[in-house]
Chains A and B, each alone.
Chain A
Amino acid sequence: MPGMKIDSGDTAWVLMSAALVMLMTPALGFFYGGLVRRKNVLSTIMHSFFILCLISVQWVLWGYSLAFGPDKAHIIGGLDWVGLNHVGLTPNADYAPTIPHQAYMLFQMMFAVITPALISGAFAERQRFKAFVLFSLLWATFVYDPIAHWVWGAGGWLHNLGTLDFAGGTVVHISSGVSALVAALVLGRRIGFGQGKFEPHNATMTVLGACLLWFGWFGFNAGSAVTSGTLATSAFVVTNTATAMAALTWMTVSWWHKRQPSVLGAAAGAVAGLVAITPASGFVNVMGAIVIGFGAGVVCYAAIQLRERIRVDDALDVWAVHGIGGTWGALATGLFATVAINTAGANGLFYGNPKQALIQLVAIGASWGWSIIGTFAILKLVNLIVPLRVGEDEEALGLDLSQHGEPAYADVSAF
């Protein structure tokens, strides 16, 4: 196409960003793996590793086509790009005019990979692996791909409406966080839930996972500029700022509430900040990032207290951190966005455009609604084919041995 020339700097940055985002999925495995009991750590890490493999294949076969292919009725992409047909090395003007189309496809693949992996924290320690396999494939196809098309696909209805979602507050975090809540409710509580605290078996693993997530998230957000210039730099700066502010805020709130400065709380706060700044990272300035990080620390911590009070066993608090953090971030984008950062965006409420906040609310509502309906239907369908939960004896034994026949540690007798 005339006027489109591949830029080597942009291409290098997007490929590097894809690698950074790829690292986030095993990092998530370690983040989650440290939080479960030692009899379930290997199965928890396997959820992330397996999804990396599964979606890598699903995405090139039909996922990318459904999410980004030629628009059908503003709802879904067509099947024209199945098997990467027409997705070659020349740029695509709609998505990234300065890099090979396959580089953009690869970058988006890593987003599609991590999103269902996020949900796995909700049903940790009790979901049957075979049910997990079926659920992940169906969820990626019928929940993630349509929402990605609505928001990011050329012709998608939320895209046309003017929704601002730079790196996936609605597409990645609301979809996974809300689906996690549905999954936790459908699967029910773990044996022993409420009778005592399930202590994380390795807090250091969780903190290391959080640090690697933070590192990879620079690719997630700054890479979403799809160029290597000023917008990527701004996204990088606000990502780091909001993350740090959220970690400080969460730690302070938990210190005040529980009388202890929790290390795991600081790590969870950092992840909440990363989630919240994700949709806003290409549209807000650094002052907006501080407010977003502060808000993430407060609302996500409060969401965990609510989740505990209503006794929902979302094992690793995916809903509170990703569902509520993503909702806050998407709304905050409509409050703090400014065209001084990104002329392709829009001003938010505090810059004289209250309409943007309403548009963001529509996108939030649509993402919540489709995630609830789609996830519930898929779980019920899978349950007809294979039971979602393991048996009580298998749960007591632990999923590492009952589902995979392998212990994570040499001596698994003491847990």
Chain B
Amino acid sequence: MDPTTIMAIACSVLVFTGWLVLPHAPKTVKPAVVVSEERQPVAISA
């Protein structure tokens, strides 16, 4: 196995196994905010 292949495998293993130790959920969750410029519903008559 050449050095490039060994490095590629090592990089992939590092990333893939890294996910096992990462947090299950984000540290903080921002509440959803309704932006003020959201369009208001309009009544449409037939």
Interface residues, chain A, CB within 8 Å of chain B? 245, 248-249, 252, 255-256, 259-261, 285, 287-288, 290-291, 294, 336, 350, 409, 411, 413-414
Interface residues, chain B, CB within 8 Å of chain A? 2-5, 7-8, 11-12, 14-15, 18-19, 22-23, 26-27, 35-37
A285-B4, A350-B4 are contacts. A245–B23 as well, Cβ < 8 Å? no
**Is the pair A414, B35 in contact by a Cβ cutoff of 8 Å?**
yes
CB-CB under 8 A from B23, the residues of chain A are 255, 259-260
CB-CB under 8 A from A245, the residues of chain B are 11-12, 15
**Is the pair A252, B4 in contact by a Cβ cutoff of 8 Å?**
no
Q: Shortest beta-carbon distance, B38 to chain A, in Å?
A: 9
CB-CB under 8 A from B5, the residues of chain A are 287
Q: Choose among A259, A261, A291 the residue that contacts B7 (Cβ–Cβ < 8 A).
A: A291
**Is the pair B3, A350 in contact by a Cβ cutoff of 8 Å?**
yes
Q: Choose among B4, B19, B26, B35 the residue that contacts A291 (Cβ–Cβ < 8 A).
A: B4
Q: Choose among A252, A411, A414 the residue that contacts B19 (Cβ–Cβ < 8 A).
A: A252
A-B contact pairs, 16 of them (CB 8 A): A245-B11, A248-B15, A249-B15, A252-B18, A256-B22, A259-B26, A260-B26, A285-B4, A287-B2, A287-B4, A287-B8, A288-B4, A291-B4, A294-B11, A294-B15, A350-B3
Give complex CA distance A350, B5 in Å.
Answer: 11
Nearest 4 pairs between A and B by C-beta?
A294-B11, A290-B8, A287-B8, A259-B27
Give complex CA distance A348, B19 in Å.
Answer: 32
Give complex CA distance A290, B9 in Å.
Answer: 8
Q: Shortest beta-carbon distance, A196 to chain B, in Å?
A: 15
Q: How many A-B residue pairs have CB under 8 A?
A: 52
**Is the pair B11, A290 in contact by a Cβ cutoff of 8 Å?**
yes
Give complex CA distance A60, B46 in Å.
Answer: 56
A287-B4, A336-B4, A350-B2 are contacts. A256–B18 as well, Cβ < 8 Å? yes
CB-CB under 8 A from B14, the residues of chain A are 294
Give complex CA distance A261, B18 in Å.
Answer: 12
Give complex CA distance A288, B4 in Å.
Answer: 6
CB-CB under 8 A from A259, the residues of chain B are 23, 26-27
Give complex CA distance A294, B13 in Å.
Answer: 11
Give complex CA distance A288, B5 in Å.
Answer: 7
CB-CB under 8 A from B27, the residues of chain A are 259-260
A259-B26, A294-B15 are contacts. A288–B8 as well, Cβ < 8 Å? yes
Known: A287-B7, A336-B4, A414-B37. 12 other contacts (CB 8 A): A245-B11, A248-B15, A252-B15, A252-B18, A255-B23, A256-B22, A260-B27, A287-B5, A287-B8, A288-B4, A350-B2, A411-B37
**Is the pair B22, A291 in contact by a Cβ cutoff of 8 Å?**
no
CB-CB under 8 A from B35, the residues of chain A are 414
Give complex CA distance A291, B23 in Å.
Answer: 25
Q: Shortest beta-carbon distance, A213 to chain B, in Å?
A: 22
**Is the pair B22, A252 in contact by a Cβ cutoff of 8 Å?**
yes
Max count, chain B CB within 10 A of own CB: residue among A288, A291, A294, A411:
A291
Give complex CA distance A161, B8 in Å.
Answer: 29
A245-B11, A248-B15, A290-B8 are contacts. A255–B37 as well, Cβ < 8 Å? no
User: Which residue of chain A has its CB nearest to the CB of B5?
Assistant: A287
Give complex CA distance A252, B12 in Å.
Answer: 12
A259-B23, A260-B26 are contacts. A290–B18 as well, Cβ < 8 Å? no
CB-CB under 8 A from B12, the residues of chain A are 245, 290, 294
User: Which residue of chain B has its CB nearest to the CB of A335?
Assistant: B4
Give complex CA distance A411, B7 in Å.
Answer: 52
Give complex CA distance A123, B28 in Å.
Answer: 31
Q: Shortest beta-carbon distance, B6 to chain A, in Å?
A: 9
Give complex CA distance A336, B27 in Å.
Answer: 39
Give complex CA distance A71, B36 in Å.
Answer: 59
Give complex CA distance A245, B8 in Å.
Answer: 10
Give complex CA distance A249, B35 in Å.
Answer: 33
Give complex CA distance A252, B3 in Å.
Answer: 24
CB-CB under 8 A from A294, the residues of chain B are 11-12, 14-15
